[in-house]
Structure 1
């Protein structure tokens, strides 16, 4: 059965792969993007592009209204939108810290809360939050990003306990180093240093992240909630 799926930050990288995977499986997919142009490949798959800055409550509300008018109430939410402003602690401004937390954590809270209205009425729903391996093990120069991503675990597990009786599941996917445009632009020496820490010795493909997200949103995963699934090639094991 085709479901109404919303992916935040679905215009590139991991988010684009997730949106594509759901669309190819026959779901009605909408995705948010903050700037630029929607990717043509998602348009070709019939995905609905919705411009939305998740730090703005009014834009979030308008985005949901647009999705609901076109696809019906959101049944599967993938909260993927996020930003980085990396800097060592002594150089990190308060704005660097609060803007990352407001997007990655508070922005996720906004989209989850809005989706929950319809899920409560339907007494079912799937929510997947995209965290990061650095949210579990930390990373120098990423105190703001790591804090925001680790907080998603507490958010998901609290909501899993709060809403499990309504058949709404909340799970977290924590990717490691992923082969995206951003990581391809890193200096070769930096890429080698990253890979030396990964037991499997390679970056993840975006499709590998998307596959786990789709599984957690499927009927086969109906008894999984409050879980944190690392997709990191073994980088964060033990965390």
Structure 2
């Protein structure tokens, strides 16, 4: 199906959708970012947002050389430098041994290369993309565009499919799809100064999830991280999703205390 192009009708819908989203809740602490529960098109989500130059990082390799696997392990490592996770979620697809499926950059070091070929499953549903933190700004970049001109990310994670591409939903998303899962992903603003991490609190379609970013949050580019195993760490909401050890984790780091 043809990609949905943003026009005047979208702008009107965006304004209406924005009015339906509840106001941001008061952070629990002065340095606490805002995580909030919201409804969009009758579906329940939790969204955590941050503004540049927020310290968003990817976490894969623990002090023992093995994948961190859990939010608690990341927090324990951060505590040695007087910092902590303000929020975090699983940050990309991974193999059974928790190695990333695609590109992963952690602290400026590339741990896994970018994959540009089409393949099976959600990751290989092109176009897929890369979430990148570079120079204190955020971006979601289509994978082949990234490979052609790498932007020098300090942190990056490749996943797929793209949810929103330049204001258009992924061309393979169907409004009447019956494939529903718990899903999580990330979207960025057009100027690269704002980032939103979202997780569905009920089973949703790709189309519904992508519309949250585009129509509900005003993010022209967004990337799917994963489904079913999706988990969120949000201390400000008293939320700590449990489950099996994960691969890449993405989170916002703030000072402890």
Same fold (TM over 0.5): no
**Structure with greater strand share of residues:** 2
TM-score class normalised by the smaller sequence: under 0.3
**Structure with greater helix share of residues:** 1
Normalised by the size of structure 2, how large is the TM-score? 0.24
- Determine which structure has greater relative contact order: mean sequence separation of CA pairs < 8 Å that are 6+ residues apart, divided by chain length: 2
Normalised by the size of structure 1, how large is the TM-score? 0.25
